[in-house]
Amino acid sequence: MKRAQRALPASAALMVIVLVCGCSPSSPTSLPPPVISVSLTPAEQQTIQQNQTVGIVATVQGSSNNAVTWSLSGSGFLSNQSATSVTYNAPSSITAPQTATVTATPSADTTKAASLKIRVALAEVPLVMQPLLPPSAAPGGAGFTLTVNGVGFATSATVMFNGRA
């Protein structure tokens, strides 16, 4: 027995192609843009003393461009800047505690940023517990040299003796 073959009209074949291939080219499907974020290590506020440093690393997520731009508000300065890391340098001499903020802004999305607060504390004054030499001096007597030995003194430290430096 022979089967009868029937040809489909050309419009039916075209309809099958459109259904298989999807919508027309005038409405392409687009993916949402990636969500870009940036984080810093260390992430928590740091407390350091004058003349000390903090190394900071930025990590950018959601982009193959991991470069950031570094900025600083407050005292101190930035050094060793690269696309993903920087070193914060505290001032060498302060008279009161300071706060600085280091911010990383990703090049891939300048509307995003991450910041790290850094508190710069006064250097601790070392405690010197040793006998004075000479142990005493007569008022109006001959002059003498007072020597103080210890560690941790600031380069600009002075010794006050009887209210005078």
What's the CATH number where 88 sits?
2.60.40.10
In a domain, 109, yes or no: yes
CA angle 32, 33, 37 (to 5 degrees): 130
**pLDDT at res. 142:** 75
Q: For residue 136, what are the CA distances in angstroms to 95, 119, 131, 144? A: 33, 42, 10, 10
In a domain, 141, yes or no: no
Q: Please, what are the averages of pLDDT over each run of 10 residues along the chain (165 residues)?
A: 58 48 59 92 96 97 96 97 97 92 97 97 71 70 71 69 66
In a domain, 55, yes or no: yes
**pLDDT at res. 19:** 45
- Tell me, what DSSP letter sits at residue 124? P
**pLDDT at res. 130:** 65
Q: Report the number of distinct structural domains present in the chain.
A: 1
The model carries a pTM of 0.62
In a domain, 13, yes or no: no
In a domain, 1, yes or no: no
**pLDDT at res. 105:** 98
Q: How far apart are CA 14 and CA 148, in angstroms?
A: 98
In a domain, 100, yes or no: yes
Q: How far apart are CA 81 and CA 157, in angstroms?
A: 32
Domain that holds residue 65: 37-121
**pLDDT at res. 16:** 47
Edge-to-edge strand order for the sheet containing 114-121? 46-49, 114-121, 98-106, 68-73
In a domain, 59, yes or no: yes
**pLDDT at res. 123:** 78
In a domain, 161, yes or no: no
> What ranges in 10-149 are assigned the alpha helix state H?
10-21
